Amino acid sequence: MAARVKLNSLLAPKPTDTNSGLPQPQPKQQEFLDSDADIAIYGGSAGSGKTLALLLDFAKPELLENPHYGGVIFRRTSPEITNEGGLWDEAGIWYPSLGATSNQKWLRWTFPTGASVRFAHLQHEKNIYNWQGAQVSRIAYDEVTHFSKKQFFYLMTRMRSTHGIKPQLRATCNPDAESWLAELIDWWINPQGYPYPERSGVLRWFIVKSDEVIWADTAQDLRSRYPGSNPKSFTFISAKLTDNPALLEKDPHYLANLEAQDVVERARLLDGNWRVKKSESRLFKAEAITASAHGAWSDPVFAKSYLFGIDPNFGGDDAFSCQVWDISDIPYQLVAEYKQSDTSITSSINQCSKLVEKYKPVLVVVETNGGGRTVQERLIEHFPGVRIEAVNTTKNSKIINTDRIAIALEEGLIQFPPDWDGIDELRSFSKETREAITGHDDSVMAWAVAFAYIEEARQLALINPLLLT
């Protein structure tokens, strides 16, 4: 009982005195600590407090009060444990306040009760067999995507319920769409690659049959379908840098460092995206984007001709996008854009109508999907003298149209303002999926439907840019 009192006293949060006891967990860290799942993954943006969450989890009072408790936290390689600011250094900040003593040779912390937390590596696949015959009640993988699926599941067989301690596995990670883990946590991730907030921490159950992971919402469901099975509970808890204000306060430049990364790394490490793949090729070449970023947003100019491209997206995740292109000469110039998410049809059409009234376009092209027919009908009603066409984009025509504008960009036929927020969409637009890493394509598609009609109109001699100069 004395040990329990002492540990509870040491572990009592003291936000104003970080030299005594452990730090106050942030809400997402607390969600991770409170999980009773057999397996809990704490994943998300860089700087979201994942490593500290592991150290807090392995130093819970109910664990440390048991002299037979021995937890093991793995990194893939030994240097990752002892690197400056790594696991060993981080533990050295907090564990001594619990009366723990260190043994760096064995990378072990021993607490007053005899309980211990050890760090180890699994650099090679064969290293898992070093743990044959071991009985470990608590295992963790720091940066679990660095480990193989075989390593992850094999060490589960080394977990034993000893001396009243429930065997549990914990892990942390940054997003990696190309890792085996991405498939394992797919239920917790939306189609755009971001975690469903409402599913964070939700328990699901699984069994493994013939190397296939079979899921269910309850253990009873799996037991009824697979008599004699022993389902494991699993959860994924997502976190972002903003969930760890302590780091931002300590290092105000950390956010700027993440924002300075290329668009793919920024999506992974800052935004927490689980769908973007480093290996995917980009449709729009970076040098062509940079070369085309010239000019400025501009008001109408007499004797210039303007073309509108509209991608409505009502009822979807993308934004309503209405673009104004100056097609009087080559290069074609983006001179205005209205883009808005979560807006009503009436509001968006009103804003678009203001642009039509202002620029008096020779042609308006509307994508019919996502409420485009309604937009077309309303604009025809408001502007009977303006030619307004509708284009239905299929999967095949999307490929054709986006290929066309990618070529136009490379050939120097396009210009847009350097501060256009669609530039990031271009930089991350996947040649394979025909979407940006966010899952959106609104700016690209507004441009694509407009430019597709320019080509068609030139063939019909309805709009010949060479005659408009």
| 3-class SS string, 327-391 | CCCCCEEEEEEEEECCCCHHHHHHHHHHHHHHHCCCEEEEECCCCHHHHHHHHHHHCCCCCEEEE
Provide the mean pLDDT of the chain. Answer: 86
pLDDT tens for 132-150 read: 988 899 999 999 999 999 9
Q: What pLDDT sits at residue 89?
A: 95
Residue 7 is assigned to a structural domain of this protein: no
**How many structural domains comprise the chain?**
2
Mean pLDDT, rounded, for 289-304: 83
Q: Kindly tell me if the per-residue pLDDT of 15 is higher than 50.
A: no
Q: Kindly tell me if the per-residue pLDDT of 9 is higher than 80.
A: no
Between 100 and 460, whose confidence is greater? Answer: 100
Residue 11 is assigned to a structural domain of this protein: no
Q: What pLDDT sits at residue 464?
A: 43
pLDDT band per the 50, 70, 90 thresholds, residue 19: very low
What does the CA dihedral 349, 351, 352, 355 come to, rounded to 10 degrees? 150
Alpha-carbon separation of residue 286 from 283, 335, 359, 425 (angstroms): 9, 21, 31, 12
pLDDT tens for 144-183 read: 999 999 999 999 999 987 788 999 999 999 999 889 999 9
Mean pLDDT, rounded, for 326-330: 84
- Strands of 116-121's sheet in order across: 101-103, 108-110, 116-121, 70-75, 138-141, 168-173, 39-44, 232-239, 204-209, 212-216
Indicate whether 214 and 65 sit together in one domain: yes
Mean pLDDT, rounded, for 123-128: 91
In the chain, pLDDT over 90 holds for what percent of residues? 45
The lowest-confidence range among 12-21, 151-160, 223-232, 333-342 is 12-21
Residue 124 is assigned to a structural domain of this protein: yes
Amino acid at 260: A
Indicate whether 291 and 248 sit together in one domain: no
The CATH number assigned to the domain holding 99 equals 3.40.50.300
Amino acid at 431: K
What does the CA dihedral 144, 145, 148, 150 come to, rounded to 10 degrees? 60
Q: What is the DSSP letter of 186?
A: G
Q: What pLDDT sits at residue 182?
A: 95
Indicate whether 59 and 127 sit together in one domain: yes
Amino acid at 277: K
Mean pLDDT, rounded, for 105-127: 95
Indicate whether 360 and 439 sit together in one domain: yes
Which of 22, 146, 27 is CA-nearest to residue 81?
A: 146
Mean pLDDT, rounded, for 386-397: 84
What pTM, to 2 d.p., does this model score?
0.66
Q: Kindly tell me if the per-residue pLDDT of 459 is higher than 70.
A: no
Q: How far apart are CA 38 and CA 168, in angstroms?
A: 5
Of 219, 234, 269, the last residue of a domain is 269
The lowest-confidence range among 15-19, 68-72, 233-237, 448-452 is 15-19
Which of 264, 201, 202 is CA-nearest to residue 27?
A: 201
Of 240, 269, 298, the last residue of a domain is 269
Indicate whether 265 and 298 sit together in one domain: no
- The sign one gets for the Cα dihedral 151, 157, 163, 167 is positive
Residue 89 is assigned to a structural domain of this protein: yes
Q: How far apart are CA 301 and CA 225, in angstroms?
A: 70
Q: Kindly tell me if the per-residue pLDDT of 302 is higher than 90.
A: no
pLDDT tens for 401-423 read: 888 899 999 989 999 999 998 88
Helix, strand, coil distribution of the chain in percent, nearest 5: 40, 20, 40
Of 234, 269, 304, the last residue of a domain is 269
Indicate whether 206 and 330 sit together in one domain: no
In the chain, pLDDT over 70 holds for what percent of residues? 89
Indicate whether 192 and 164 sit together in one domain: yes
Indicate whether 219 and 132 sit together in one domain: yes
The CATH number assigned to the domain holding 328 equals 3.30.420.240
Q: How far apart are CA 236 and CA 429, in angstroms?
A: 28
Which of 262, 371, 267, 391 is CA-nearest to residue 319?
A: 371
Residue 224 is assigned to a structural domain of this protein: yes
Bridge partner residues of 190 (DSSP):
none
Q: What is the DSSP letter of 74?
A: E
Indicate whether 260 and 352 sit together in one domain: no
Q: Kindly tell me if the per-residue pLDDT of 212 is higher than 50.
A: yes
At residue 290's C-alpha, the angle toward residues 295 and 437, to 5°, is: 115
Indicate whether 349 and 231 sit together in one domain: no
Three-class SS of residue 170? strand
How many CB atoms lie under 10 A from the CB of residue 272? Answer: 23
Q: Kindly tell me if the per-residue pLDDT of 316 is higher than 90.
A: no
Q: How far apart are CA 387 and CA 380, in angstroms?
A: 8
Domain hosting 395: range is 286-467
Indicate whether 161 and 241 sit together in one domain: yes
Strand 108-110 relative to strand 101-103, pairing: antiparallel
Residue 34 is assigned to a structural domain of this protein: yes
Residue 120 is assigned to a structural domain of this protein: yes
Indicate whether 393 and 332 sit together in one domain: yes
Residue 2 is assigned to a structural domain of this protein: no
